[in-house]
A and B are shown apart, each in its own frame.
Chain A
Amino acid sequence: AQKITQTQPGMFVQEKEAVTLDCTYDTSDPSYGLFWYKQPSSGEMIFLIYQGSYDQQNATEGRYSLNFQKARKSANLVISASQLGDSAMYFCAMREGRGGGFKTIFGAGTRLFVKA
């Protein structure tokens, strides 16, 4: 069974608008971390934001925020005021604290296109 699910293969957003990229996860480990990475066409995976399973508040980093709904096992990325440079592939990922060791589980990714 997939542990990280990103159901949107591609998304379009108008410049300066907000966009939400969906991510659901599945784990029985009480301790886990959720990550979002951005991968432009150049190839580098850029770390954006982290949310821990015990964190009480949603994580925010500049224009990025994570809408963490633990009961629904969802960790959606919200990008506010989209910019042309936000066009990229976005991966949701999870690391399990007890059973995961060094392994990070990646979703299939969502390709975001920002229109001028």
Chain B
Amino acid sequence: DTEVTQTPKHLVMGMTNKKSLKCEQHMGHRAMYWYKQKAKKPPELMFVYSYEKLSINESVPSRFSPECPNSSLLNLHLHALQPEDSALYLCASSQARTSGGFRESTDTQYFGPGTRLTVL
């Protein structure tokens, strides 16, 4: 089973709203990722959690706040977003395999269906 689920599928919010995106996987993966994808562009990495600890924050504005409550769940809390934050938000997970202290290049990421976010 290589399923990653994301809710909601679509979200429309105003610039003053607070909302959360949720991601769940039951593959026993220990790394989880948030990506932002604009139309016709490749995904851009936002955050990575490894063993429930924040491993990478790609200089994302503080209006995006990630949370990893346990090894299966990943949230992205949204507050005071801007219209330019409208995009497809993708969650992914991987085993987080290492070899000799380095991340294995075979560590395949599996993606969820994404949340299409529109900020008005």
- Tell me the A residues contacting B by CB distance below 8 Å: 29, 31-33, 35, 37, 42-47, 50, 52-53, 89, 91, 95-98, 100-104, 106-109
Q: What 5 A-B pairs come out closest when comparing CB atoms? A: A33-B105, A106-B42, A97-B105, A45-B111, A43-B114
- Taking the closest CB of chain B, its distance from the CB of A53, in whole angstroms, is 7
A107 CB contacts on chain B under 8 angstroms: 42
- Tell me the B residues contacting A by CB distance below 8 Å: 2, 31, 33, 40-43, 45, 48, 50, 55-56, 88, 90, 92, 96, 99, 102-114, 116
Known A101-B56, A102-B31, A104-B109; judge A45-B90 contact (CB<8 A): yes
- Taking the closest CB of chain B, its distance from the CB of A86, in whole angstroms, is 18
Known A101-B56, A102-B33, A106-B42; judge A45-B92 contact (CB<8 A): yes
**Which one of A29, A33, A98, A102 lies within 8 Å of B55 (CB-CB)?**
A102
Q: Is the CB–CB distance between B42 and A108 below 8 Å?
A: yes
Q: Which chain A residue has the least Cβ–Cβ distance from B96?
A: A102
Q: Is the CB–CB distance between B103 and A101 below 8 Å?
A: yes
Q: Is the CB–CB distance between B111 and A46 below 8 Å?
A: yes
Additional A-B contacts beyond A43-B114, A109-B40 (5; CB < 8 A):
A35-B108, A45-B90, A45-B114, A95-B107, A102-B48
Known A100-B105, A102-B31; judge A91-B113 contact (CB<8 A): no
Q: Is the CB–CB distance between B42 and A42 below 8 Å?
A: no
A96 CB contacts on chain B under 8 angstroms: 105
CA distance A45 to B108 in the complex (A): 12
B90 CB contacts on chain A under 8 angstroms: 43, 45
Q: Is the CB–CB distance between A44 and B106 below 8 Å?
A: no
Q: Is the CB–CB distance between A103 and B114 below 8 Å?
A: no
CA distance A54 to B37 in the complex (A): 31
Known A102-B55, A103-B56; judge A97-B113 contact (CB<8 A): no
